[in-house]
Amino acid sequence: MDRRTFLNATTALTGATVATAVAPLHSFAQSAPAIITRDRMRPQMAQGVQSGDPKADAAMVWTRSDRPARMWVDWSTTASFANPTRVRGPYLMEGSDFTGRLDLASLPAGQEIFYRVVLQDLHNERVLSEPVRGHLRLPAAAGSKALRDVRFTWSGDTAGQGWGINEAWGGMSIYEQMRKVNPDFFLHSGDTIYADGPISAQVTLPNGTLWNNIVTEEVSKVAETLNEFRGRHRYNLLDANIRRMAADVPQIWQWDDHEVNNNWSDSKDLSGDARYTQKNMPLLTAYGAQAFHEYAPLRRTADVESQRVYRYLPQGPLLDMFVVDMRSYRGANSANLQTSETPDSAFMGRPQVDWLLDGLKQSKAVWKVIAADMPISLHVPDGKDGEGRDKWEAIANGDDGQPLGREIEIARLLREIKRAGIQNVVWLTADVHYTAAHYFDPNKAQFSDFAPFWEFVSGPLNSGSFGPCKVDGTFGMQVAYQKAPPVQNTAPNGGFQFFGQVDIDAKTRAMTVTLKDLTGASLYTKMLEPQKA
């Protein structure tokens, strides 16, 4: 059985009704059970399976049960599951919304891994679910001499501005386009849900036709309870395109603002937002963070910071991924004009920036990708402050001069990258709901103590399209390409949904970045030659 046959079988299996074996726990753990039970008795995995945070010898496997259950995973290097290894997973209980994940370890580096998840009913340990299958591809080990090409995709912004799952339009079909290019992994650059964006059954389009959404109780209003935040994640997994890609392609998730509330920071005030009866922003943040970590196929850090999102994911000799968090450690959104690096001007925060610099210095990979949830030099406004000045949501502050506010932190990061002689650093991001390629040229910057680099923007995946944004001149950003809609909040069927594709050639070690639309058509391509330190 080849990979495509395996995937077709997997897709069919998720909707099939088949007999399921039952056996006591010790029997299941040791050998294949053989007794049959009825379909209605089995645990269900309606949200399918996901994998994430791949490393050379490990990957996360995620699922959700409909009842208390124990998770078991078989894995093999063949689609036929010849000589599988069985691993006992966690209990899936109500406290985690019946979600659970298993860090599959001691895997063979650089191999295709086929896995199947089975749930064991805790009310009757003899009752097992039908298996749900998945696939992932591991990167090569860091010191491997046998290099292969690397390919991955990235984008952000899923189900925002009230644009939900429209099955008559094919659902969130851009996920299927990303799956079809056969990436090693998919980077979701944030706004994995829109907790603050109600979805209604119908939206009237400018031409008078209707956009019809699937609607659940949890997405019909802004999320204010833990169950409503969880329901947002469950909603996205109603889409067959998302489930299919999640079962086939490992994901790397980061978060931004809409996992909680638009543009949230310590200055967020919901007192004037009539949609919310729960005005406690710290509590809403806690709900959003818990739901995100329950549903993300993300490897958790130690208890010292168990909900940390920023992390390092080596992807073999050609690529290191540095996933940053530009939301959790920022100071309050403000006029962003502070004259020194302080907690008020923090964006990633000094500990995270120091972690990033240390990781970049130690990296032996050819390419170092900084996966950022916000762009560096685009204007992203956030209303007015108490003095009537513009407040800013991102890094840029509308002042084209020397670095101020959050720009000071970024200037220090860029300066230290240059001084350490770190080469081949590329930034990838989303957030602004259009696609673009940006070149940062120190010869055209007000702050010039940095080495030139590229930033690429993509998105949205299934949200309203916006842009383009105004450009801040502090770091000399030049727009090499951009595509944005003529009308703000253009619906997904307007043709302005985007994802990016990155290819690294094993022979030349060149990185090629391609910006694509929802049909898979290439809009812009940039090949970057690797530089030696």
Residue 29's pLDDT is: 47
Let me know if 128 is exposed, middle or buried by CB neighbors in 10 A (0-12, 13-18, 19+).
buried
Q: How confident is the model at residue 496 (pLDDT cuts 50, 70, 90)?
A: very high
Closest CA to 219 of 202, 238, 200, 237: 200
Query: Using CA atoms, how far apart are residues 95 and 226, in angstroms rounded to an integer?
Result: 11
**404 and 337 in contact (C-beta within 8 Å)?**
yes
Residues 298-314 have pLDDT tens digits of: 999 988 898 999 999 99
The pLDDT tens digits for 104-128 are: 999 999 999 999 999 999 999 999 9
| Model confidence band, residue 34 (pLDDT cutoffs 50, 70, 90) | very low
Confidence of residue 532 (pLDDT cuts 50, 70, 90): confident
Region 474-503 average pLDDT: 97
**pLDDT of residue 98 exceeding 80:** yes
pLDDT at 304: 87
Q: What are phi and psi of 292, to 5 degrees?
A: -60, -45
Phi, psi values for residue 444, rounded to 5°: -120, 15
The residue-averaged pLDDT of 157-161 equals 97
Label residue 19 by pLDDT band (50, 70, 90). very low
Cα dist from 231 to 216, 220, 222, 501, whole Å: 8, 10, 11, 30
pLDDT tens readout for residues 248-306:
999 999 999 999 999 999 889 999 999 999 999 999 999 999 999 999 999 999 888 98
Phi, psi angle pair for 442, to nearest 5°: -60, -25
Token digits of residue 422: 């770190």
CB-based contacts of 235-239 (< 8 A; 24+ apart in sequence)? 235/159, 235/164, 235/165, 235/193, 235/199, 236/158, 236/159, 236/172, 236/192, 236/193, 237/46, 237/47, 237/48, 238/165, 238/214, 239/165, 239/171, 239/172, 239/175
Average of per-residue pLDDT across 461-477: 97
- Asked whether residue 219 carries a pLDDT value surpassing 70, the answer given is yes
Token code pair at residue 329: 């450690």
Q: What is the pLDDT of residues 169-181, one digit of tens each?
A: 999 999 999 999 9
Is-contact 322 369, C-beta < 8 A?
yes
User: Do you find a cis peptide bond into 33, omega within 30 degrees of 0?
Assistant: no
Query: What whole-number percentage of the chain has pLDDT above 70?
Result: 93
Say what the alpha-carbon torsion angle 372, 151, 247, 492 is, to the nearest 10 degrees.
60
pLDDT at 422: 98
Q: Say what angle helices 281-295 and 226-236 make with each other, to 10 degrees.
A: 40
Nearest alpha carbon to residue 86 among 30, 45, 134? 30
Q: Which of 9-13, 137-141, 395-399, 524-528 has the lowest mean pLDDT?
A: 9-13
Compute the radius of gyration of the chain from its Cα atoms: 23
Based on the number of CB atoms within 10 Å of its own CB, is 231 exposed (0-12), middle (13-18) or buried (19 or more)? buried
Q: How far is the C-alpha of 315 from the C-alpha of 56, rounded, in Å?
A: 7
Helical pair 350-362 and 406-419, crossing angle rounded to 10 deg: 20
Confidence of residue 435 (pLDDT cuts 50, 70, 90): very high
Give the pLDDT confidence score for residue 38 in this predicted structure: 65
Angle at 496 between CA 495 and CA 502, to 5 degrees: 115
Cis peptide upstream of residue 460 (ω within 30 degrees of 0): yes
Across the range 146-152, mean pLDDT stands at: 93
Is the per-residue pLDDT at 37 higher than 80?
Answer: no
Calculate mean pLDDT across residues 396-403: 95
Phi, psi angles (nearest 5°) of residue 175:
-65, -35
The per-residue pLDDT for 26 is 42
The reported pLDDT for the residue numbered 204 is 96
Average pLDDT over residues 211-217: 98
Q: Minimal CA–CA distance to 226: which of 289, 307, 162?
A: 289
DSSP state, residue 465? B
Domains and CATH numbers, the chain: 3-137 (2.60.40.380), 152-528 (3.60.21.70)
Q: Is the pLDDT of residue 533 over 70?
A: no
- Model-level pTM? 0.93
| Residue 423, both tokens | 């080469």
Residue 39 neighbours by CB distance under 10 Å: 12
Q: Give φ, ψ of 471 to 5 degrees.
A: -110, 135
Mean pLDDT of the chain: 93
Q: How far apart are CA 122 and CA 437, in angstroms?
A: 51
Per DSSP (E only), the strands in 289-364 are 311-314, 319-323
Whole-angstrom Cα distance, residue 18 to residue 25?
21
Do 252 and 321 contact (CB within 8 A), yes or no? yes
The answer for residues whose C-beta is within 8 angstroms of residue 380's C-beta and 6 or more apart is 374, 392, 393, 394, 396, 431, 432, 469
Strands 132-137, 85-92: parallel, antiparallel or unpaired by DSSP? unpaired
